[in-house]
Structure 1
Amino acid sequence: MAGPTHHILPLPDFDKPVKILIVASPYYKDISDHQIAGALAEIAKAGATHEIVHVPGALEIPTAIGIAARMGDFDGYVALGCVIRGETTHYDTVCNDSSRALQLLGLQGLCIGNGILTVENHAQAAVRADPAQMNKGGGAAAAALHLVALARKWGKAEKGVGFTRDILMAGDTIR
């Protein structure tokens, strides 16, 4: 009996350039290097450009993406890191908080592919990171690219939530 099959969407086509920011934590450098290699291959296949920044750990990845969204000029983001279970509950905190923060940024409209591995041991991480095996870095890049394509399909109309600041000029009336 064969295992489950997974359908992989073909990469989207873009008519305008796409710039992706890869935010990676090299805490486990061998894992990070494989994740980045997989992500770069997918980004290249889509004809996009990229920048890479490194942060100390998984908890810093969402913060770096938030800063880049406010201050940079990127269409999408790829979050790459690895959290391996240890002897304390710190694992749960790092996994949950980094994932939740990325999800909140995504819900604000950022196009993020989450490639932060959460595993029991280094062997599991190695299989998931290796571009020749599970290629989770490539999958995260593909997810970001698909979200960029959706954002472009639906337009970039600014939809504010809450109050807006209007400036009244001399002679204007309030209606």
Structure 2
Amino acid sequence: MASSEEHTVLARPEFDKPVKVLIVVSPYYSDIAHGLLTGAKAELSAAGADFEVVEMPGALEIPTAIGISDRRSNFDGYVALGCVIRGETTHYETVCNDSSRALQLLGLQGLCIGNGILTVENKKQAEVRADPEGQNKGGGAAAAALHLIALARKWAHTSKGIGFKPRGEDTLMAGDTDGSKIA
């Protein structure tokens, strides 16, 4: 069982400016969603982050809600919470793959997203993972978003040296033989 495995938990990042996070949760399995949400809220609160919560009908709508929010609001990061339990059809693979892929694409565009959408075989697995006193995957998703926000802020003003740079003293310009301007 995965709950007995050891794993590393990074120290919670600290922020010198306020952090605002949007939690997007699907309450399709309301008891599972409640556990995920409880863990995420606790982690964000412990980091001093402000947050809002919006609900979407299912996991497929979560990335779209995050994309809309990014274009129309001012959140520093996002936490995606939900649960997909395998059923008897291929719909499970579609929902798992498409929601995960969409979140990853948003992340690659620069959004700071913690993915807490559980993809499990049965409800018991979901209960263990959603339990804030157990695997606390909601808290883990919030922690991931916080770490991405911290990284984005760390590199927010780093220049890659693209474009024009001011002329330095040791820079020769065309027609310039010794660094002085030719009249």
**RMSD of the TM alignment (CA)?**
1.4
TM-score, L = length of structure 1: 0.87
Measured at CA, do residues 66 and 87 of structure 1 come closer, stay the same or move farther in structure 2, by a change above 3 Å? same
Residue 157 of structure 1 deviates from its aligned partner by 7.0
What CA deviation, in whole Å up to 9, does each residue of 1:71-123 have, x standing for no partner? 01100000000000000000000000000000000000000000000000011
What CA deviation, in whole Å up to 9, does each residue of 1:114-167 have, x standing for no partner? 0000000011000000000000000000000000000000016799xxxxxxxx
1:164 matched to which residue of 2? none
Long gaps (5+) in structure 1: 160-175
Measured at CA, do residues 61 and 156 of structure 1 come closer, stay the same or move farther in structure 2, by a change above 3 Å? farther
Long gaps (5+) in structure 2: 161-183
Task: Give the match's secondary structure for 1:27.
Answer: coil
Report 1:1-175 matches (<5 A). Answer: 4-155=5-156
Measured at CA, do residues 66 and 156 of structure 1 come closer, stay the same or move farther in structure 2, by a change above 3 Å? farther
1:173 matched to which residue of 2? none
Q: Whose radius of gyration is greater, 1 or 2?
A: 2
Task: Give the match's secondary structure for 2:54.
Answer: strand
1:170 matched to which residue of 2? none
Task: Give the match's secondary structure for 1:57.
Answer: coil
After TM superposition, where is structure 1 displaced by more than 4 Å over at least 4 residues in a row? 156-159
Distance, in Å, in 2 between the alignment partners of 1:113 and 1:156 is 23
User: Which residue identity does 2:83 align to in structure 1?
Assistant: C
1:167 matched to which residue of 2? none
2:180 matched to which residue of 1? none
Percentage of pairs with the same residue: 73
TM-score, L = length of structure 2: 0.83
User: Which residue identity does 1:130 align to in structure 2?
Assistant: D
Distance, in Å, in 1 between the alignment partners of 2:36 and 2:56 is 15
What CA deviation, in whole Å up to 9, does each residue of 1:33-68 have, x standing for no partner? 000000000000100000000000000000000000
Counting matched residue pairs gives 157
Task: Give the match's secondary structure for 2:98.
Answer: helix
Task: Give the match's secondary structure for 2:82.
Answer: strand
